[in-house]
Chain A
Amino acid sequence: MKLHEYQSKQIFAKYGVPIPKGRVAATAIEAGEIAAELGGRVVIKSQVLVGGRGKAGGIRLAKNPRETEELAAQILSMEIKGLPVRKVLIDEAAQIDKEIYFGITNDRAARKPVMMASAAGGVDIEEVARVTPEKIIKVHIDPLLGLHDYQTWDIAAGIDLPRDHWRAFGQIAHGLWNAYVACDATLAEINPLVITADNRLLGVDGKMVIDDNALFRHPDLVEMRDLDVEAPSEIEARKYGLTYIKLDGNIGCMVNGAGLAMTTMDIIKLFGGEPANFLDIGGGASADKVSAALRIILSDPSVKAVLLNVFGGITRGDEVARGILSALNDVKTGVPMVIRLVGTNAEEGRQILADAEMITAETLVQAAQKAVAAAKTN
């Protein structure tokens, strides 16, 4: 789950990272009031969960409250990469001397968190990593021991940070680490961390991504979720404990298990079709869950055929079949459906579906071929 800039920076501030004075606003009038409180020049920043806000015109400077109000009104009426701007952050404009990249993420290969910094800050760090990886200083942190002071000095020295900033930098590093641990983040990033004209370190922009698996112990963070970044069907699916991802094709898929669901998508493509979604009903799905899954698939108007592929282990074929019947009772549809049931109680499942006018298949290849053919003729 991604957090907005203003949310991330508030969390960082709680852990001792200096950030610009400022507040978030939902209306232009509010934005003007905040600018008046702050006095002087401010920066108006759209709060949307996509990159490239600046290029899209979603970050602007204003000299006074009146200009802030005008620009905020403009930005609040924008859509950036398909996402509506609902909030703007009004921050005191900083006089910037130098920009630094500073972040922590999980290094999957090393099985440890890695703290990264670069003197080439303010730009896309993935681009720096690709073109000039030597410009990024990396320090792995033992998750059992935590961050140590000497590691922060190593980073400060590595990015040629002037020595008079090392102490403040060490505090910021510990703050970022503590925020990362406390929030179960998979990414905590200050980009840029700037040296201001009056020689202070300041976290001007921030970003956090929270581990979805850890949200059960962070009810406060769950409340920060921005539902705009997800399709309504994805939100609906999550309510039922389903993993659904909308894609561009026209063959709806319902599968048990993530690996098999991906494979089912791949095989549809292999035989000339395009999957409309990824959908994993998980293990041991009840009839209710299956029914919800099928209704979500059928609510996508581009779906011309549905492929149901269930390899029963803990998931039972009869339970799946009952779910399908219940969904077909709720939603009358002419969309052709191909079903392949194998494994636990598959035979019982087939009997339940005998009158449901579904196209049956024995193998995965057959199922894919039949679904592709059905989508073409429908």
Chain B
Amino acid sequence: MSILVDKNTRLVVQGITGNEGLFHTQGMLSYGTSVVAGTRPGKGGEWVLDGKIPVFDSVKIAVEATGANTSVIFVPARNAADAILESVDAGVSLIVCITEGIPVQDMMKVRNYLDQKSVRLVGPNCPGLLTPGECKVGIIPGDISISGNVGVVSRSGTLTYEVLYALKLLGRGVSTCVGIGGDPINGTNFIDCLKLFEEDPRTDQVVLIGEIGGTDEEKAAEFISDHMTKPVVAFIAGQTAPPGKRMGHAGAIVEGGSGLASDKIKALQSAGVRVAKHPEEIPSLLS
């Protein structure tokens, strides 16, 4: 067991013919993910990666031909909102958008359309998901994590790798790692993942990695306090970030006195969450 991605995932890669799309498709295939199709409008009928993966003109055709149930998006930011909507209408059940830099008004439209549908979006601006030993959807390096009972959910990319690696070095394995992304408007949030981990029999405890900006960590703290029986350990990045400056991620900004790391840490601690001072301290705080 795991959440969202596993052995039954059948993946279609949107933007498979681009550099990043090809590179990471190879990575996902090597990891053992069932990549069944790719798309690129105008290149339907071609094959990539030595004839291993068929390319289709649209996600709809790819789903009909291959039974793909999950899509991962590597298309450039200016076309990414379109790519998400295409996948929604093609009928996959999970969409993972890796693309960074999508205009926020595009994402607001996408999100309000998604709210009327039953499909789940992870991202955008995220590293994707990894269920160690079974399935990788996205760009998380496969060799930095082993299978185990810790669920990981994170707003960050390389910081997540740091945490996975720190866990692995101490022999701690992961059920599923979900990178929900660093944008202000995204598909799946902390609470969605906490719910799934709480219900997942293979997950015994959860690591939550947050950062400055917004109030999602505070809301997660409330949810943990009211609904979680499994222990949660957290780390919040950006304690030294100055207000008014966007710290790389579009969502990581302290505005009008809200979004501070200190408020998030306080909220999590009062919900009984153990908050690490730095990523390498996380394994020692697990039970």
By a beta-carbon cutoff of 8 Å, the part of chain A in contact with chain B is 106, 108-109, 111-113, 126, 129-130, 142-144, 181, 184, 186, 211-214, 216-217, 243, 245, 247, 255-263, 265-270, 275, 278, 280, 283-284, 311-314, 342-344, 363-365
Contact = CB atoms under 8 A, between A and B. Distances in A.
Given A143-B112, A213-B104, A278-B247, A106 B278 contact: no
A270 B247 CA distance: 19
A283 B105 CA distance: 24
A348 to B, nearest CB: 16
Contacts of A261: 247-248
**Most chain A beta-carbon neighbours within 10 Å: one of B108, B109, B184:** B108
Given A108-B184, A112-B112, A262 B212 contact: yes
Given A106-B104, A213-B103, A262-B238, A111 B111 contact: yes
B239 interface: yes
A109 B216 CA distance: 8
Given A211-B103, A245-B247, A262 B214 contact: no
A313 B144 CA distance: 10
Contact of B105 (A181, A278, A343): A181
Contact of B161 (A111, A113, A255, A313): A313
A169 to B, nearest CB: 24
A186 B106 CA distance: 12
B42 interface: no
Interface residues of B, number: 60
A142 B214 contact: no
Given A265-B241, A266-B240, A257 B109 contact: no
Given A311-B162, A365-B278, A111 B112 contact: yes
A214 to B, nearest CB: 4
Contact of A108 (B165, B211, B214, B248): B214
Interface of A is mostly: mixed
Contacts of B101: 213
Given A262-B237, A313-B139, A342 B165 contact: yes
A365 to B, nearest CB: 5
Contact of B157 (A186, A211, A283): A283
A293 to B, nearest CB: 13
Contact of A364 (B112, B238, B242, B278): B278
Contact of A213 (B102, B144, B240): B102
Interface stretch (B196-204, B249-257, B267-275): B249-257
B156 A257 contact: yes
A356 B108 CA distance: 48
B278 A267 contact: yes
A184 B78 CA distance: 13
Contact of B155 (A144, A259, A265, A269): A259
Contacts of A143: 105, 108-109, 112
A349 to B, nearest CB: 15
Contacts of A112: 108, 112
Nearest to A363: B280
Contact of B211 (A130, A243, A262, A363): A262
9 contacts: A111-B185, A113-B108, A213-B101, A262-B240, A266-B237, A266-B240, A283-B158, A314-B23, A364-B278
B65 interface: no
Interface of B: 20, 23-24, 77-78, 101-106, 108-109, 111-113, 127, 139-141, 144, 154-162, 165, 182, 184-185, 209, 211-212, 214-215, 235, 237-242, 245-252, 256-257, 277-280
Contacts of A247: 240, 242
Contacts of B23: 314
B211 A259 contact: yes
A130 B106 CA distance: 30
Nearest to A256: B158
B162 to A, nearest CB: 6
A64 B67 CA distance: 76
B159 to A, nearest CB: 3
Contacts of B105: 113, 143, 181, 184, 211, 214
Contacts of B112: 111-112, 142-144
B248 A270 contact: no
A278 B161 contact: no
Given A111-B185, A278-B247, A260 B158 contact: yes
A266 to B, nearest CB: 5
A142 B112 CA distance: 8
Contacts of A263: 159, 162, 235, 237, 278-279
Given A266-B240, A266-B278, A275-B240, A260 B104 contact: no
Given A258-B182, A364-B279, A365-B278, A213 B250 contact: yes
Contacts of A278: 241, 245, 247-248
B182 A259 contact: yes
B157 A257 contact: yes
B153 to A, nearest CB: 13
Contacts of A365: 278, 280
B240 A343 contact: no
Contacts of B214: 108-109
Contact of A144 (B109, B156, B249, B280): B109
Contacts of B77: 213, 216
A258 B252 contact: yes
A265 B241 CA distance: 8
A261 to B, nearest CB: 6
B248 A243 contact: yes
A212 B112 CA distance: 22
